[in-house]
Chain A
Amino acid sequence: MMLSVGDRPGPPRSTLATVVRCIARTLDAEFGIAPQRLLAEVGIPPDVLQDDELRLPLPDLSRLWRRCEEATKEPSFGMRVARHVVPGDVYGIDLALYTSSTLEEAVRRFAQFLALLTTVSVGQFRQDADGDWHLGYEVASECPPTDSARDFFIFAQIHLFERQCHLSAPQFLRRIELTRTAPADCATFQSLGVDVVFDQPASGMLFKGATWQRPLLGANPQLLAQVEQPILEYLARLGAPLPLSALRARLVDRLAEPPSAAAFAQRLGMTRLQLEQSLLDQHVTFAQLLDQTREIQALRLLATPDLSLDQVSLRVGYRNTSSLIRAFRRWRGITPASYRKQCCSRDTKP
């Protein structure tokens, strides 16, 4: 059974079918196995390879992964496939990571957009006592994915972080946690130079606190907002929660004449009801989202000394400075002018 994007999410957990391309490339290039035959055996039609929006349900993919494990007899097959992910496979998410400002932002963004790639797992962050950050994945399905699929999932994202953030895994990772039992040949799994632990209750990884907030050179908010647009639209069609930070980024340039909830929803390719439901799931209203965006943008603009208060007011969508001052007191408890003074004095300190 195949799912199109518009289908109701929920119980049938699905994964973006481009993973099949990665598997096909690996079979072809590394094992000399014609992928079409294997796909036919597990009932996946070959035109799946051409479609970049299609999703496959978990059981179909599990059959494919198991068949590949049999055919290749390779315990680290999932790891091998993880090296065959190309930019066309991840719907622009790699570029969104590249244009993020810090490693933390990139990793959090990945977790927010994960539903586009797969709804099988959900990521959770927590900081440990040493200041390291743990990203753990809960499997949201009764029948868990195969070992290869889970290896692929973890190693593919590590490669994404490595490539997009220009860091090697040992620079930002302390530990990789896998659910599989320890294989006879552990060395392959340790080949990234990061400690790997097996037999864990859930997959995950531990990010080093020291590099967690490392600034990224590719940071580019404009390009990011642009590439987030199709990702948001896809998430909307999927019925997945829309990351609030990405929604705010879409609103920032429109504050002078803010769109209505209906117009904004339409731009995202969804109905107003769908947008409001997604916001409700995250305990905010559209008015609050707009207000948050204004606050963030006002803070940003006030840090630019060459803009007058009048200009700042207009750009964040207030008719006059007194409305801005009122709103600013509500957000921060001080006036915009004194906030600006604080900013400037901080900047000029040696």
Chain B
Amino acid sequence: MYLCQTNNYLAHRERLSLSPTAIYAGLRLLESRGANLAGIQRLWGFQLTTINQPHLRLPAFLNRRFWDLVAELDEDPAIGLAMARPADLGQMPGVSYLMQLMPTRLEALHCMQRFWPLVAAHIGLSLERSGDRVHLGLASASKLQLTPTELDYWFARQIRYLRSWLCAPDPVLEVCMSRPAPADTGPWDRLAGRPVHFSAGHNALLLDYDALCHARPAGPARVQLALAESLDAYARQTAGGNLLEVASSAILHGLQGGISLEALAERLHMTARTLNRALLREGWTFSGLIDVHRRYLAQDLLQDHSLTVADVADQLGYHEINSLIRAIRRWYGTTPTALRGSGSGLPADEDSLVHSAQHSSSES
């Protein structure tokens, strides 16, 4: 039985962007561990001073870049779990606080689901009940996958919230994560305190329905209303999306069919020159944007073993498979086969990969 599906804020759902409040806490933790924020800013290509602007939306590719950077900079493999530790009421533009005012955690989860596209539209969130279990699922809303570090972060946030209620029963029963098992599962086991299944094929928390229904007095109705209004205002004010977001979204959707600067400019009712200048102000060129999207998508799509290298090249808008092979050498210093094997816990089926690659390239 479906409890509810995310069906609000369509403008945000289709846009693949998120509220950067999600990563404030993470930045703060990195800083406390001695990370150099100026260095992060340089590598990330994003102005940290602007991250506090209330109406800023972070395009999914910049979010991806952030989590890659975190995994590179910090040696702790469980950094994603640690980043969820500071409990931030203002996080997720006020949704965290609103959840605290709900009379039960089940209602809090519904509330989170309602406002989820404003929080992190690049992730789809589902809430399903079957019998005495509630299934809280997370999945990427686009071809751009979530890195293990980011998934760790969102899981840890949910678990910490569900356990933040004083004197309430623990609703967490099981944790399923698509990520491969880390060398030391200790931090994950300690966080969950329940069975954790890695390489699970999906990302979900299994929760106990009765525990979620444990009630406490709700917070003031007037405060709830003010927050809901504030979130609606946030949705209106961010409905248009900034240029980088619009461009990134267009590229994500348009790579396969081919997308050009001119076509995007026309859609935005501006000249190609104006568009390029505007992108430059954000620190990007159009071709740079295409490249960074292809780079992440190549890595992600190669993890899907039902796709041949030729399929991947096609989805990325390459006419020649060799262009993809050259690009992967440039980005990752390796071959598509090796990349496919390295990024996932699943063994790469090398024979079929090589075979299909040769097959396709002889065709093209």
Q: Interface of A with B (CB < 8 Å)? A: 21, 25, 28-29, 49-50, 52-53, 84, 86-89, 91-92, 94-95, 98-99, 163-164, 166, 217-223, 226-227, 229-230, 233-234
Contact = CB atoms under 8 A, between A and B. Distances in A.
Given A52-B218, A95-B89, 14 more contacts: A52-B221, A87-B97, A87-B100, A91-B223, A92-B219, A95-B90, A95-B227, A98-B89, A99-B90, A163-B89, A218-B88, A220-B90, A223-B54, A230-B225
Interface string B3-19: 00000000000000000
Contact of A52 (B93, B217, B233): B217
Given A87-B101, A217-B24, A25 B219 contact: no
Interface of B: 24, 28, 52, 54-55, 86-90, 93-94, 97, 100-101, 165-167, 216-223, 225-227, 229-230, 233-234
A219 B100 CA distance: 20
Nearest to B225: A230
Nearest to A228: B226
Contacts of A87: 89, 97, 100-101, 219
A218 B223 contact: no
Given A25-B166, A88-B101, A223 B222 contact: no
B218 A163 contact: no
Contact of A229 (B24, B93, B219, B226): B226
Contacts of A25: 166-167
Contact of B219 (A88, A164, A220): A88
A223 B230 contact: yes
Contacts of A92: 97, 219-220, 223, 226-227
6 contacts: A49-B217, A86-B216, A92-B223, A163-B89, A223-B93, A227-B230
A222 B100 CA distance: 20
A50 B217 contact: yes
Contacts of B86: 166
B107 to A, nearest CB: 12
B319 to A, nearest CB: 42
Nearest to A225: B230
Nearest to A89: B219
Task: Rank and list the top 7 A-B pairs by shortest CB-CB distance, nearest first.
Answer: A88-B219, A226-B230, A87-B100, A230-B222, A92-B223, A218-B90, A52-B220
A229 B223 CA distance: 8
Nearest to B221: A52
Contacts of A229: 226
Contacts of A86: 100, 165-166, 216
A49 B28 CA distance: 37
Contacts of B87: 163
B100 A226 contact: no
Contacts of A218: 24, 88-90
A60 B87 CA distance: 34
Nearest to B229: A226
Given A52-B220, A87-B101, A217-B52, A226 B226 contact: yes
